[in-house]
Amino acid sequence: MTTYDAHFRVWRGDADGGELRDFSVAVHDGEVVLDIVHRLQATQTPDLAVRWNCKAGKCGSCSAEINGRPRLMCMTRMSVFGRDETITITPLRAFPVVRDLVTDVSFNYAKAREIPAFVPPPGVKPGEYRMAQEDVARSQEFRKCIECFLCQDTCHVVRDHEENKPAFAGPRFLMRIAELDMHPLDAAEETGLDRKRTAQEDHGLGYCNITKCCTEVCPEDIHITDNALIPLKERAVDRKYDPLVWLGNKIGRR
Ligand code: SF4
Ligand code: F3S
Ligand code: FES
């Protein structure tokens, strides 16, 4: 086993402010950034705050920014960095800091609560649902989401624009709306809920200018932009310019 000392800079502080602190830490073959953070806690900074749970890329807890790029610490191998490289770890920038590497991601839970759940089709019991395999596959891609919120942190609409947060659900939750809107059994429209319209009017779909930065950082390799956001935009536009919908709106307004 080879071992070397790496130079780390780790942000330490709280909601009132903080700074980058320098550390020299031993690194062994095969380790990931989270191993190094744990070694720091064990040997130099027992009070370093970090959120993690599975160390397997599945719980979505250990999100942070490593050399400025949003990543999961448990899935970032030390071997991707040069041995002489300084590795800087900072908390997610789009969310308020609680302490050190831990941020308050409650913005995301609030956005999740704003999206109405799947509406079961009337007269069909769970267990009797039938849908085409391609519809199942579409949902399954979106349901790989581990809620790490790296996409939410990356999206430029909110990353440096706190003022956009109330009006923008972010890629993870626009993807949720897309999933439900494209679900062949979702009966939302029968209850008067127009998911395409609410995506535009209530969840800020129009703010997304398909830069695809969200897709680039997704650790589950979900094609958020191509498979969720662009199709949802197309469906919203189709609905807006559908002549029958236009006529219905005209009559409805009289
Ligand atoms: Fe994380 Fe990807 Fe889910 Fe976004 S879509 S929260 S990046 S797993
Ligand atoms: Fe943001 Fe992704 Fe759209 S990064 S602008 S939500 S494509
Ligand atoms: Fe669970 Fe990293 S600790 S995803």
pLDDT tens figures, 142-198: 999 999 999 999 999 999 999 999 999 999 999 999 999 999 999 999 999 999 999
Q: Is 169 in the pocket of ligand 1 (CB under 6 A)?
A: no
Q: Select from 38, 55, 92, 102 the residue to mutate for testing ligand 3; criterion: most ligand atoms less than 8 Å from CB.
A: 55
**Model ipTM value:** 0.99
Q: How far is Cα 212 from Cα 89, in angstroms, rounded to an integer?
A: 23
| Coil, strand or helix at 20 | strand
Give distance in angstroms: CA of 48 to centre of ligand 3: 17
Contact between 139 and 202 under an 8 Å Cβ cutoff? The reply is no
Residues of the chain above pLDDT 70, percent: 94
Q: How far is Cα 52 from Cα 143, in angstroms, rounded to an integer?
A: 21
Q: Is 178 in the pocket of ligand 2 (CB under 6 A)?
A: no
- In terms of C-beta distances under 8 Å and separation of at least 24 residues, what long-range contacts does 206-209 make, across chains too? 207/157, 207/164, 207/167, 207/168, 208/155, 208/157, 208/171, 208/174, 208/233
Q: How far is Cα 43 from Cα 60, in angstroms, rounded to an integer?
A: 25
Q: Is 235 in the pocket of ligand 3 (CB under 6 A)?
A: no
Q: Whole-prediction pTM value?
A: 0.93
pLDDT tens figures, 118-146: 999 999 988 899 999 999 999 999 999 99
